[in-house]
Structure 1
Amino acid sequence: MTATLETSAMTTAVRLTGVHKSFGAGRGAVSALEGVDLSVAPGEFVCLLGASGCGKTTLLNLVAGLDRPTAGDIALSTSRPAVMFQEAALMPWLTASRNVELALRFAGVRRTQRRERAGELLELVRLGGLGDKRPHELSGGMRQRVALARALASAVQGSQDGSPALLLMDEPFSALDAITRDVLQGELLRVWRSTNTAVLFVTHDVREAVRLGQRVVLLSSRPGRVVREWQVGDLEPSAEAAAIEEINTSLREVISSHAAA
């Protein structure tokens, strides 16, 4: 029942071994995760897929250190994984730049360096020149870009000792319209490739998982266990379509088994 910092050769950004998570006690206890083994390599993009209630967000919270496993081990190669949620959760009284700076401030970065780094990150997410705008002056997609810049600030700052940067994303585009979601998926891939940040991305959308991930991991219905994995990086269009169909079939089986239980 531990969460440790991995200091040996950096072969993983995070490794989960036999992770269990239960809520409550006695007969009323609910088992959310059961015996999860999962690792994400430095710079790898892994999508975590499963039906609603299968423990995807719970797993992310455990990796982020927002909760503790009931049993098992979580080994991190970074002391500061960053989290990006469904909602941008920006401070409404701060400008876009100051929202990004906030993550750097918490990390102890000096003011002049914070301003410079925030400007660089806003440029990276294509919001250069908009750093003085407050959240209500930005569209939903723009606010998520600011949230991405802030998460990157935290992830990259937490890896200044040479350890892999790790970004945890919990369905960050699910509340956006289809066109904006498609654009931001492309932007996320561009940013990921330019920063070499390890990403663990939670989604319930198979097409999104295959488009974004190098690897797709499917969890069973509650209690969540890893039931299948697919390597999906750089697929040809026909192979991508076949992967989507195969993963959809497996997901439907998982959902059907849960409904029949």
Structure 2
Amino acid sequence: MTATLENAATRPATEYAVRLSGVHKTFGQGAGAVPALAGVDLDVAPGEFVCLLGASGCGKTTLLNLVAGLDRPSAGELELNSSRPAVMFQEAALMPWLTAAANVELPLRLAGLPRGERRNRTGELLELVRLNGVGGKRPHELSGGMRQRVALARALASALHTTDGSRPALLLMDEPFSALDAITRDVLQGELLRVWRSTGTAVLFVTHDVREAVRLGQRVVLLSSRPGRVVQEWQVGDLSGVEEAEATAVINQRLREVISSHATA
């Protein structure tokens, strides 16, 4: 399987929720400088689900932090045509003193939405992630999977409901299911796809799990070992079970080649 993507340069910028062109990121200066990213070209279209794949330390999280505005590129251009990106991390990072509903409502409150509208939207989001009836519980009363559902609802509140709607929503996810057991992870992957299809939010999802990337993404983007750069992309949306297994095998092999080439360099 090979990349058959349209040349990004041929598409207008308005078709992008985010676009990176020749992005570099280096930490430190002089002899101690550590290059994390080296000339990354990447785009995510409105409503597209893109999985960013690579070995540990290849710069996936660094790239996500740049898109989130938590850091700045050392060189290159990063263009956002979305609302302010919302971020979901590996840990739920909920406020332990707030209820599940209050955690979801927090970004709406910070955006200045009226109280009644906040409560209505919070209820809708909890229903969307199938947490009806648990809004009054605090994080320590919830399972790990339920806490991640609350975190997803909170991220959607930020992405979908704190903008005027003139620009597409963008959700950034940094290995949000990696700390969960296999059964819970599998369930939440399915739930994420359902929520994504119902909301039309663009998603940039970081993972080192090839099977997860193929199952979730419409497109899988492989980064090289550090310093990270895009080495290959695959369209993987709407695959049958057999095709999904074949794609997983092909991408796994390519990932092993990238890691091996770095180890022998």
Same topology, TM > 0.5: yes
How far off is 1:161 after superposition?
A: 3.1
Match of 1:48 among 39, 48, 52: 52
Alpha-carbon distance in structure 1 between the residues aligned to 2:163 and 2:43: 18
How far off is 1:78 after superposition?
A: 2.0
Structure-1 residue corresponding to 2:185: 181
Q: Given the alignment of the two structures, is residue 170 of structure 1 paired with residue 146 of structure 2, yes or no?
A: no
Q: How does 1:103-252 map to 2 (within 5 A)?
A: 103-252=107-256
Deviations 1:134-180 (A, max 9, x none): 00010000000000000000001244332110000000000000000
Alpha-carbon distance in structure 1 between the residues aligned to 2:126 and 2:88: 16
Q: Given the alignment of the two structures, is residue 80 of structure 1 paired with residue 91 of structure 2, yes or no?
A: no
Contact residue 81 and residue 158 of structure 1 kept, 8 A: no
Alpha-carbon distance in structure 2 between the residues aligned to 1:233 and 1:179: 23
Q: Which moved more, 1:156-165 or 1:79-88?
A: 156-165
Alpha-carbon distance in structure 2 between the residues aligned to 1:136 and 1:161: 34
**Letter aligned with residue 202 of structure 1:** V
Alpha-carbon distance in structure 2 between the residues aligned to 1:13 and 1:159: 14
Structure-1 residue corresponding to 2:263: 259
How far off is 1:9 after superposition?
A: 6.7
Alpha-carbon distance in structure 1 between the residues aligned to 2:194 and 2:83: 25
Structure-2 residue corresponding to 1:4: none
TM-score, normalized by length of structure 1?
0.95
Deviations 1:45-88 (A, max 9, x none): 00000000000000000000000000011111124100000000
**Letter aligned with residue 199 of structure 1:** V
Contact residue 83 and residue 170 of structure 2 kept, 8 A: no
Gaps (5+ residues) in structure 2?
1-11
TM-score, normalized by length of structure 2?
0.94
Contact residue 171 and residue 201 of structure 1 kept, 8 A: yes
3-state DSSP class of the match of 1:10?
helix
3-state DSSP class of the match of 1:235?
coil
Alpha-carbon distance in structure 1 between the residues aligned to 2:56 and 2:13: 36
Contact residue 16 and residue 43 of structure 2 kept, 8 A: yes
Match of 1:27 among 23, 31, 54: 31
**Letter aligned with residue 227 of structure 1:** V
Gaps (5+ residues) in structure 1?
1-7
How far off is 1:258 after superposition?
A: 1.7
Contact residue 83 and residue 168 of structure 2 kept, 8 A: no
3-state DSSP class of the match of 2:23?
strand
How far off is 1:210 after superposition?
A: 0.2
Match of 2:22 among 9, 18, 22: 18
3-state DSSP class of the match of 2:14?
coil
Structure-1 residue corresponding to 2:102: 98
Identity of aligned residues (%): 80
**Letter aligned with residue 247 of structure 2:** A
How far off is 1:257 after superposition?
A: 1.4
Contact residue 107 and residue 162 of structure 2 kept, 8 A: no
How many residue pairs align between the two structures? 254
Alpha-carbon distance in structure 1 between the residues aligned to 2:14 and 2:64: 20
Alpha-carbon distance in structure 1 between the residues aligned to 2:232 and 2:48: 18
